[in-house]
Amino acid sequence: MHTLRFNTNINCANCVRAVTPTLNGEKAISSWQVDTDNPSKVLTISGDLSAEQVVALIEEAGFEARPA
């Protein structure tokens, strides 16, 4: 397991609610959080996914993510 960080456009509580089903539904993710107070809206994920897999999940949920 490893921890990955991404800059995103997940910028409010409604956005967090929108990605929650996607991220919670991915069994390879053990935990995640979005720091919406950070100007880069940093998403931190712990689990067994590659950065590319996380970006694909975030895009599937309708948002953007770039490795931080």
CATH number of the domain within which 15 lies: 3.30.70.100
| The pairing of beta strand 2-8 with beta strand 29-35 | unpaired
Q: Is the pTM of this model over 0.85?
A: yes
> 30: domain range?
2-67
pLDDT confidence of residue 60:
94
pLDDT at 3 over 90: yes
Number of domains in the chain: 1
Q: Is the dihedral of CA 42, 48, 50, 53 positive or negative?
A: negative
Amino acid at 47: G
Of residues 59 and 1, more confidence is placed in 59
Give the separation between CA 61 and CA 63, rounded to whole angstroms: 6
10-64 tens-digit pLDDT: 999 999 999 999 999 999 999 999 999 999 999 999 999 999 999 999 999 999 9
28-40 tens-digit pLDDT: 999 999 999 999 9
